[in-house]
Amino acid sequence: MTVLRSIFRFLLGLVAATIVAELVLQINAATPLWQVLPVPTVMFYGPDPDSGFSHRPNVSGIWTAENRTHVRISSLGLRDRERAFKRSEAVRAIVIGDSIIEAVQVEQPDTATAVAERILSAKRPGAEVINLGLQGVTPAVQVARLQSIGLALQPDVAVLLVTLDWFLSDTIKDDSLTPGYKRNADGRYELSYAFRNGRGYKFRTSQGGAFVYWLLDHSLVARVINARRNAGWFAEWPKPAEHPPELTSGPQDECQSARMARQRALWVDGQPAEAAGILDAVIRDLSKISRDNKLPVVLVMRNIGLGCEQFTELRKALTDAIEKRLAAAGLGFIDFDGLLLEKNGSPVVDRLHGFGKNLGSGHLNIGGNQLYGEIIAAIIDEELRKRER
Amino acid sequence: MDRRAASALACRRKTRRKDRHLSYDTLYFVFFLALVWGAFFALPGKGWILLAASIVFYSVAGLRDSLLAAVIILVNYGFQFPVKRDRRWLWLLLALNFGCLIYFKYRVFLATAAGVDFYERGVVIPLGISFYVFQLSAFLIDIGRGKAEPFTSLARFSLFKLFFGQLIAGPIMRWRAFAPQINRLFDGKLARPRYIGIGLALCVLGLVKKVMLADSLAPFVDDFFRDGPASALSAWVGAWLFGFQIYFDFSGYSDMALGIAFLFGLRLTTNFRQPYLTHTPQAFWQHWHITLSTWIRDYLYIPLGGGKGSFARQACVLIVVMGLAGLWHGANWTFLIWGIAWALAILLWRLAGRHLAQLRAGEWALTLIIAMLLWVFFRAPDLNAALAYIGTMFGARAAGTSGLPVAAAMSSLVIAGCIALLALHWLEAQLFTRRATHVLLRIDGPLLRGLLIGLAFWMVMLPKAQNAPFIYFRF
């Protein structure tokens, strides 16, 4: 009996500790202390039948990686300001991109799309630029996202910020977590959604999954456990050596490899065959969406090796080939790095990336988002002008 | 960057701290501790269990460090009796111990200072070498002075130095305080379970200081010292934040060390007693890293004739001793200057202490300001950066771009936060009272232990702001 009583009291102590931890974290999160003291990062992703995962509507919390920000997902389920689903008479543009566009490392008004919206609405009152950025998306997911939420928003123009390397990556054909391009029985590459039958996806869309998400939305202690599960229970175990963080992007690191030659082989010679087949499928699907919906679709390509003296001719050949291919399919093409060079005045874009001691690597900082926003605004404005002509 | 700054920077880059170790603020250490604690209370041979755990704990540092520690321990063990018989052996052994320390920790600094560059590949300082060399040397000197007895058992001697609760960053234990406790463990005496509640409370307090406070301040301090302060106010804020970061970091580690020892029925020497509440520089050093201060007093200051003779002689001894104490922290001119500056502050109080004491709270404020000012030397990457930083503190040209938030409300919050840190320090002083200890002993039981274990668990589960090992692990 005494042993049982002791065990009960011990467990009661553990429960009390959990309540204390929850209270302390809630106080941290609700007061300016969130900018300094430990807080678990917000978990705003959830299952999505079209893109595998996407933002869950109305979730809010603190993002802690790279730079601390308060993130709120809009009621439309976007990393965007609150806005009506139904469009007005004013211009509406959507920007589909990866974490660079998602930009959870800065406050929403500082994101590139918010900057672009402000610039554009000065010229075109009421103009909207909607952020459809989502972490780690491949062109396959971008196509799926355009087909679903993108078209539902009835935009006047769709801008897809595409990182060139994805076309040569295996991830674009992997449909276990997000849509991927798979070869069907006819030998055609089509978007495939095998993730919908996955155990993880089924759990996330079940009652159990809904309960877990409810818990993550309401309990910071639950977020701590989730963050630890994602990072690894023994994540701090001593490692032999730490490598410096890789640059997320930036034309200056293109010279480090012979990627240019591989991209040229893909776009000009159609090699390797599988990647070329997937590339054809992406262009085909985007072209169909554009044609069927009379929607100008602009592919803004990043990482085409700007600033590499040795690749100047190769780069020219590559950009010409990309432009020709896309134009033939009725799609717009923008050499993003070229515009960035023009705006930035130099191919060295370190100052646009990273925060604090990691300045120079990582996601876009406020200055980076400002510059990207200006470029995106110019691209959208130019596309609208074309349409008006 | 001028030549001297470049040379200091090169020296720092080539002398790196050891990053491979089991850290107290991690989940895997909690599991390790739980496993060792379970075995300690369930199995016989408590001393052997702690020794085995300590060997495992240190072996994570790698083969080189483990072998070095083993060799030093074996040699020191082997020469205990010769030292007792003939004090001449003591000098040989001290030369060996400090020779190792100099070779592994200071050779790049000394070579760079002499203008030669032998060590292109850099040097990694063996884990905890400064601490175990000091502890072993103190033990040998005590034997030589007849104040300690040699260990007859290698296992007991090894645990005396290797106990994982104080192996890497102290407290630097003396034979008189620690050896009887080690002997008790090996003799199979009771492990004093009534201190478990206190031990857990100290572990939680240490974790709060490290995880919640020190690690949270670290990114801001890094910004101030990397980019340089943009104004006098931001320079003072940066120094102030570092002063508290290093206090919370090291005293947090020391609290955990004490707490871990209590879990196994051992009692380590207290290393910190709220140093920022002291009124004089001398008192500061009696409350900051106490086991190092007393080591320096007993084995350097007094033997060199400190406290005797003319004021000039005492001043010279103090400057030499504090300079060495500064260098103990790291192979850099900044540490040397830091130590010497503290010596000058102590001398100032010796000269004008009576007048300064009349300032009452002003004397405390002055000591606090000196402490924060001198931390700049401790934290700055090189002497030039330290001087530029201090210049900014006193209104000279801004040393960099790191400033306080532009919005007045946010700046006020930062200042309020700085004051809150001092308030926490005062609050801590209220916790460390005899009455608080009695209350803790009275309410100790399954409920309290469950609460404290739960809090410690959540503390190590918290996402780390950045990978920030304990600062004193590098010394």
For B93-103, the pLDDT digits (tens) are 899 888 888 88
* Percent of residues, chain B, with pLDDT higher than 70: 91
Over the stretch B238-255, which tens digit does the pLDDT of each residue have?
999 999 999 999 999 999
Residue A198: C-alpha distances to residues A49, A136, A193, B218 (Å): 12, 19, 10, 42
Residue A292 has pLDDT above 80, yes or no: yes
Residue A320: CB atoms within 10 A of its CB come to 12
Q: For position A230, what pLDDT does the model report?
A: 84
* CA distances for B472 relative to A155, B19, B128, B289, angstroms: 58, 12, 9, 11
B34 interfaces chain A, CB cutoff of 8 Å = no
Q: With bands split at pLDDT 50, 70 and 90, how would you rate the model's confidence at B2?
A: very low
Q: Please check whether residue B19 touches A, CB under 8 A.
A: yes
Q: Tell me which of B11 and B115 has the higher pLDDT.
A: B115
Q: What is the mean pLDDT of residues B382-404?
A: 88
Are B164 and B157 a contacting pair, CB within 8 Å?
no
Does the pLDDT at position A134 exceed 90? yes
Give the burial class of A125: count Cβ atoms within 10 A of its Cβ; 0-12 exposed, 13-18 middle, 19 or more buried: exposed
C-alpha to C-alpha distance for B473 and A53, rounded to whole angstroms: 43
Shortest Cα distance, chain B CAs vs residue A377, angstroms: 29
Q: Is B112 exposed, middle or buried (0-12, 13-18, 19+ CB in 10 A)?
A: buried
- Tell me the pLDDT band of B367, cut-offs 50, 70 and 90: very high
| Distance of alpha carbon B289 from alpha carbon B34, whole angstroms | 28
Selected residue with higher pLDDT from B269 and A387: B269
What mean pLDDT comes out for the span A182-200?
A: 91
Mean pLDDT, range B217-231, rounded to an integer: 89
What is the spatial distance between Cα B231 and Cα B237, in angstroms, rounded to a whole number? 10
A48-to-A154, A210, A248, B381 alpha-carbon distances in Å: 20, 13, 26, 49
Residues listed for chain B: 475
Eight-class DSSP state of A119:
H
Q: What is the dihedral of CA A326, A331, A336, A337, to 10 degrees?
A: 10
Percent of chain A with pLDDT over 70: 93
Distance from C-alpha of A16 to C-alpha of A222, rounded to nearest angstrom: 15
Average pLDDT across chain B, whole number? 86
The shortest CB-CB distance from B454 to any of A18, A228, A231 is to: A18
- State residue B84's pLDDT score: 83
Considering CB atoms only, which of A6, A20, A234 is closest to B28?
A234
Q: By CB neighbour count within 10 A (0-12 exposed, 13-18 middle, 19+ buried), where does B180 fall?
A: exposed
Mean pLDDT of A111-138: 94
The whole-number pLDDT of residue A120 equals 95
Nearest to B453 among A14, A21, A236 (CB): A14
pLDDT at position B17 over 60: no
- Cross-chain residue pair B448–A13, CB shorter than 8 Å: yes
Record the pTM: 0.85
Residue A303 contacts residue A297 (beta carbons within 8 Å): no
Q: Is B454 at the interface with chain A, CB within 8 A?
A: yes
B228 dihedral zone (left: phi>0; alpha: psi -120 to 50; beta): left
Active-site residue, selected from the candidate residues B279, B329, B355, B425: B329
Q: Is the pLDDT confidence value at A10 over 90?
A: yes
A154 CB-near residues (< 8 Å, 6+ apart): A87, A92
User: Average pLDDT of A29-35?
Assistant: 89
Considering only CA atoms, which of B20, B250, B25 is closest in space to residue B124? B20
In this model, does residue A325 exceed pLDDT 70? yes
Q: Is A14 an interface residue toward B (CB < 8 Å)?
A: yes
Nearest to B23 by CA among B15, B13, B33: B33
- pLDDT at residue number B203: 94
Contact of A357 with chain B, judged by CB distance below 8 Å, is answered with yes
CATH architecture assignment, domain A40-197+247-388: 3-Layer(aba) Sandwich (3.40)
ipTM metric: 0.84
Report the pLDDT averaged over residues A7-19.
96
Alpha-carbon gap: B22 to the closest alpha carbon of chain A (Å) = 7
All CATH 3.40.50.1110 domain ranges in chain A, comma separated: 40-197+247-388
Compute φ and ψ for A162, nearest 5 degrees.
-115, 130
Amino acid at B313: R
Could you give the count of Cα atoms lying within 13 Å of A131 in the half-sphere of its Cβ? 35
- SS3 string, A253-268, reads HHHHCCHHHHHHHHHH
DSSP A103: -
User: What are A224's two structure tokens?
Assistant: 């701590």
In DSSP terms, A332 is beta-bridged to A298
What is the overall mean pLDDT for chain A?
A: 88
Asked whether the CA dihedral B265, B271, B272, B273 is positive or negative, the reply is positive
Indicate the range of A14-23, A310-319, B13-22 predicted with least confidence: B13-22
What CA–CA distance (Å, rounded) separates A359 from A2?
59
Window from A79-83, A306-310, B30-34, B402-406 with minimum mean pLDDT = A306-310
CA distance A105 to chain B (A): 15
Mean pLDDT confidence for A67-94: 93
Is the confidence at residue A243, as pLDDT, over 80?
no
- pLDDT per residue over B170-203, tens digit each? 799 999 999 999 998 888 776 677 788 999 999 9
Closest alpha carbon within chain A to B21: A238
Residues of B in contact with A243 (CB under 8 A): none
- Domain ranges for chain B, please list them: 3-190, 195-474
Residue A65: closest CA among chain B residues belongs to which residue?
Answer: B465
pLDDT tens digits for range A159-173? 999 988 888 888 898
Question: Taking CA atoms, what residue in B is nearest to A355?
Answer: B223
CB atoms within 10 A of CB B297: 17
Q: Residue A253 pLDDT > 60, yes or no?
A: no
User: pLDDT per residue over B266-307, tens digit each?
Assistant: 899 999 999 999 999 999 999 999 999 999 999 999 888 887
Cβ–Cβ gap A237/B28 under 8 Å: yes
Q: Residues of A with CB below 8 A from B452's CB?
A: 13, 17
pLDDT at A309: 63
More confidently predicted of A244 and A15: A15
- State how far residue A389 is from chain B, nearest Cα, in angstroms: 46
Which residues make Cβ contacts (< 8 Å) with residue B314, sequence separation at least 6? B306, B307, B308, B350
Residue A245's pLDDT is what? 39
Query: How many beta carbons lie within 10 A of that of residue B121, not counting itself?
Result: 7
Neighbours of A82 (CB within 10 A): 11
CB B183 within 8 A of CB A316: no
